[in-house]
A and B are shown apart, each in its own frame.
Chain A
């Protein structure tokens, strides 16, 4: 069946219509961003077996809400760009992530600030130029103005690798990732934006992923990447600080954790 006929069929069945509504919630920010980012290009819908996005319907922590993107076997290795958008955040584009062709990424987890009730969407661009979107709703409040957490401080730019077996790696960087919407509890002054603006991941010397990031990432920005085949070793993670442009990087070798600044 031609993919384009699906929405028509869906329109005929009203229970499915409401399902379609929740699949593509429309809000002002997205209506504004869509033409800016994608022009008039078609954006398709895909089923869970190709791509899914998961987030808690009501987040236990608005300043650190886990978002999980999964790619099925037919899409894994074929996504060249993935963009995550939180419609109602002050800075809606969470990240624009470019993936290297052929790297079999099947999961990407992010941890984000969510300011208020919003749809969260992921748009994938495949290697043949198609755009596919998935979205979900999250209820939250105040994630962007929440005060720094209990772990504030430490060494700015310290990077930690936390593997789960051979097929998933969580990488965190110690950084306030201040949104610019927070207030210093001691002085009452607003805290200026200070965040990680760019990240890069290399495996065995080859780029796996490169992304623009921003203030919708939580304090101590964290990325988890899962693959159907082990990524090569060593893994190198690099991050750029905004506004200082300082670079942080660390390398991990299987068997020995060498977290360095």
Chain B
């Protein structure tokens, strides 16, 4: 029975693989990270690089009744690619489009999904965040919208998730629990938790390998990480970077970076270092193998400096 051996070895290798993720064999390279949870991994590129419209992790969850899309990518082109791929996996209709926060790479594909039967869902602070971003999006990312680019394509949520109460969405024999967080990565961060498979879509509260950008509050973000760690999900889909099965482990580099950043900026403030010097010199013990460090780290220093100077 020597022919059985390779098959057994292959099966063992499959079972031992760190991810249960399997390529789903569609045109958009979706991976089924957990039953019914499909994710497309964005590329780790800068916001102004060619291909910048496909840098975030986006995907969808299929219930018995309908489908919920989680983020739509950084262009209508990317949104359309996702929409096409959904059709390759299920004939069920899309009933919800959930945006995890306001950033371009997560929302610019929204317009593609507009339909009477589709409801858009987001943090209660998302509409205001979109309002103030609309002109910037049109100015800097008009090529990522359908021509002629218009503010109306930047679609906001009809269903708003309040910060103090989780919202449940029923997809038919599958419930998604949505939580709106206090200020952390942005002021409108939302996570999606699929109870039936124990899968947590973190949005940009978790960056894997890509330098996390602080637009909300570093202290707020650290406390959100504490709360996320308590959830102990089996599958984690970060906003950027590879999916994982160990939340605490995946969070560790982010936490380490934030703590080092805070310690450094506090020391700068104690020495009376002005903002521009803190930006120019601040570094952390964290190694620079974070991607896009040169762009994102100075931004973070500026934000954290302002957050800590009134302590």
Q: Which A residues contact B (CB, under 8 angstroms)?
A: 54, 56, 60-61, 64, 66, 68, 109, 111, 116, 141-142, 145-147, 149-151, 154, 160, 162-165, 168, 170, 172, 174, 182-188, 218-220, 222, 224
17 contacts between A and B (CB under 8 A): A56-B276, A61-B299, A64-B306, A66-B276, A141-B140, A142-B136, A149-B303, A150-B306, A164-B273, A170-B274, A172-B310, A174-B310, A185-B125, A185-B128, A218-B306, A220-B310, A224-B274
Do B306 and A220 touch (CB < 8 A)? yes
Shortest distance from the beta carbon of B177 to any chain A beta carbon, whole Å: 23
B284 at the interface (CB under 8 A from A): no
| With contact pairs A186-B124, A220-B306 given, residues A162 and B188 touching in the complex (Cβ less than 8 Å) | no
For the complex of A and B, the 7 pairs showing the least CB-CB separation, nearest first, are: A164-B272, A150-B217, A185-B125, A66-B276, A61-B302, A60-B298, A60-B299
Check: B93 CB closer than 8 A to any chain A CB.
Answer: no
- State how many residues of chain B have any CB contact under 8 Å with chain A: 37
Assuming A66-B274, A142-B133, A168-B272, what are 14 further A-B pairs, CB within 8 angstroms? A61-B299, A66-B276, A66-B279, A147-B128, A147-B129, A150-B216, A150-B218, A150-B306, A151-B309, A165-B272, A183-B128, A185-B128, A186-B125, A224-B274
Complex formed: what's the CA distance from A162 to B273 in Å? Answer: 9
- Whether B307 and A64, one on each chain, are in contact in the complex, defined by CB atoms closer than 8 angstroms, is no
Using CB atoms and an 8 Å cutoff, list the residues of chain B in contact with chain A: 124-125, 127-129, 131-133, 135-136, 139-140, 183, 187-188, 216-220, 269, 271-276, 279, 298-299, 301-303, 306-307, 309-310
CB pair A162 B275 closer than 8 Å: no
* A182 to B132 alpha-carbon distance, docked (Å): 7
A111→B277 CA distance, assembly (Å): 13
Contact, CB under 8 Å: A150 / B129:
no
The residue of chain A having its C-beta at the shortest distance from the C-beta of B305 within the complex is A64
Nearest-CB residue, chain B, relative to A174 = B310
| Chain A: CB-nearest residue to B216 | A150
Whether B279 and A56, one on each chain, are in contact in the complex, defined by CB atoms closer than 8 angstroms, is yes
* Min CB gap A81→B, angstroms: 23
Cβ–Cβ < 8 Å partners of A145 in chain B: 132, 135
A150 near B272 with CB under 8 A, answer no
* Interface pair A183/B131, CB less than 8 Å apart: yes
Closest to B275 in A: A66
- Asked whether, in the complex, the Cβ of B269 is within 8 Å of the Cβ of A162, the reply is yes
What is the CA–CA distance of A193 and B275 in the complex, to the nearest angstrom? 25
Q: What's the Cα separation between A54 and B309 when bound, in Å?
A: 22
Q: Which residues of B contact A154 (CB under 8 A)?
A: 310
Question: CA A164 – CA B269 in complex, angstroms?
Answer: 10
- Residues of chain B with a CB closer than 8 A to A64's CB: 275, 302, 306
The winner among A142, A219, A220 for most chain B CB atoms within 10 A is: A142
Q: In the complex, are the beta carbons of A162 and B306 less than 8 A apart?
A: no
Contact among A61, A162, A185 for B129, CB-based, below 8 A: A185
- Report yes or no: B274 in contact with A164, Cβ–Cβ below 8 A: yes
**Residues in chain A near residue B187, CB distance under 8 A:** 147, 185
B139 close to A188 (CB less than 8 A): no
When the two chains form their complex, are residues A54 and B276 in contact, meaning their CB atoms are under 8 A apart?
A: yes
Could you say which of A61, A164, A168 contacts B303, with CB atoms under 8 Å apart? A61
